[in-house]
Amino acid sequence: MLSGKPSVFLLMVNGQIESADFPEFDELYCKYSYVYGHDWAPTTGLEEGISQITSKNRDSNQCFVWNFPMEITFKSTNPFGWPQIVISVYGADLFGNDVVRGYGGVHVPTTPGRHKRTIPMFVPESSSKLQKFTSWLTGRRPEFTDPKVVAQGEGREVTRVLSQGYVTISFNIVTKDLKKLGYDSIPANQTSDNTGF
């Protein structure tokens, strides 16, 4: 049993990429990865993954279901650089080429418990109508060279995008020693009452 204050705190993320809503497209798969600051390091779990290809249901339920598990644990000394999950969705176009259908990102929730996040997905826009037509013809749509740019705040002012869908992710978050290091991330009405029975 270590005496004294711990020096790192742990963040355990269990979750799944549940489903997506893209009204105009079919047969999509997604990739996820994490972006985090210099003070953070993953200890266990997978940092990246690629899901299966899923299609819309034939009946009225017009959403895509991946049910794709994500499990990872981070350790850190500083909440700055809190991990973000970055999702890219790809699908086949009319000619069979693999094109990007959306990028999106969200911070992993900071409070322990169960959370659901529906994030919008967007693609870079073609700069002219001619470029739009040639990219449709050749299958080389505008895409980000690194999907992780979605997780950054700098350099975004020059990008023009179209938002065209949503992805729903559910998280179960557990933190360890965040409180012992002095950080308070839990809202007042959620703190447990330890007075006993």
- The distance of closest approach from Cβ of residue 115 to other proteins in the complex, given in angstroms and rounded to an integer, is 8
Amino acid at position 19, single letter: S
- The distance of closest approach from Cβ of residue 183 to other proteins in the complex, given in angstroms and rounded to an integer, is 5
Q: Pick the closer one to other proteins by CB: 16 or 78.
A: 78
- 8 Å CB contact between 43 and 73: yes
- The distance of closest approach from Cβ of residue 117 to other proteins in the complex, given in angstroms and rounded to an integer, is 9
- 8 Å CB contact between 24 and 86: no
Distance separating alpha carbons of residues 96 and 56, to the nearest angstrom: 18
> How many CA atoms, within 13 angstroms, populate the side-chain half-sphere of residue 172?
6
Q: Pick the closer one to other proteins by CB: 2 or 188.
A: 188
Q: Pick the closer one to other proteins by CB: 57 or 152.
A: 152
Which tokens go with 60?
């009225």
Q: Pick the closer one to other proteins by CB: 54 or 84.
A: 84
The C-alpha angle 103, 104, 105, rounded to 5 degrees, equals 140
Tell me which residues touch other proteins (CB under 8 A).
23-24, 37, 78-82, 84, 104-107, 109-111, 115, 119-120, 122, 125, 150-154, 156-157, 159-165, 181-188, 190
- 8 Å CB contact between 5 and 183: no
Q: Pick the closer one to other proteins by CB: 154 or 193.
A: 154
Q: Pick the closer one to other proteins by CB: 94 or 158.
A: 158
- The distance of closest approach from Cβ of residue 52 to other proteins in the complex, given in angstroms and rounded to an integer, is 24
- The distance of closest approach from Cβ of residue 56 to other proteins in the complex, given in angstroms and rounded to an integer, is 15
What number of other Cβ atoms are within 10 A of residue 42's Cβ?
16
79 burial (CB, 10 Å; 0-12 / 13-18 / 19+) is middle
Dihedral angle at the C-alpha atoms of 153, 117, 82, 29, nearest 10 degrees?
A: -80
- The distance of closest approach from Cβ of residue 107 to other proteins in the complex, given in angstroms and rounded to an integer, is 6
